[in-house]
Homo-oligomer: A and B are copies of this chain.
Amino acid sequence: MNKSGKRADSAASLGAVPLRADKIGAANPMLSIEARQKLALIASIRHFSAGETLFHEGDEAAFIFNIISGVAKSYSFLPDGREVIQAFLFANDLIGPLGGESFVNTVKAITPVVAYTLPLPALVKLLRSDPGLQWQFLIKACHELRQAQQHAIALSQNSAKQRLLMLFNLLRLHNEPLGASAGHIHLPMTRTDIADYTGLAVETVSRALHQLQREGVIRLINQQCIEITDESTFAAALAMEI
Q: A10-B146, A11-B146, A134-B138 are in contact. Are A157 and B98 (CB under 8 A)?
A: no
Q: Do A135 and B128 touch (CB < 8 A)?
A: yes
Interface residues of A in 135-154 (CB under 8 A from B): 135, 137-139, 141-146, 148-149, 151-153
Assembly CA distance A18 to B155 (angstroms): 14
Seen from chain A, the residues whose Cβ lies within 8 Å of a Cβ on chain B are: 5, 7, 9-14, 16, 18, 22, 25, 76-79, 84, 86-87, 98-100, 104, 127-132, 134-135, 137-139, 141-146, 148-149, 151-153, 155-157, 198-199, 239-242
Number of copies: 2
Q: Do B99 and A138 touch (CB < 8 A)?
A: yes
Assembly CA distance A16 to B146 (angstroms): 10
Q: Do A157 and B78 touch (CB < 8 A)?
A: yes
> Which residues of chain B have C-beta atoms less than 8 A from A130's C-beta?
131
Assembly CA distance A25 to B100 (angstroms): 14
Known A9-B143, A127-B131, A137-B138; 4 more pairs at CB < 8 Å? A16-B145, A100-B142, A128-B131, A152-B155
Assembly CA distance A148 to B138 (angstroms): 16
The 9 closest A-B pairs by CB, nearest first: A156-B199, A99-B142, A155-B156, A152-B152, A148-B148, A12-B142, A141-B141, A99-B139, A145-B145
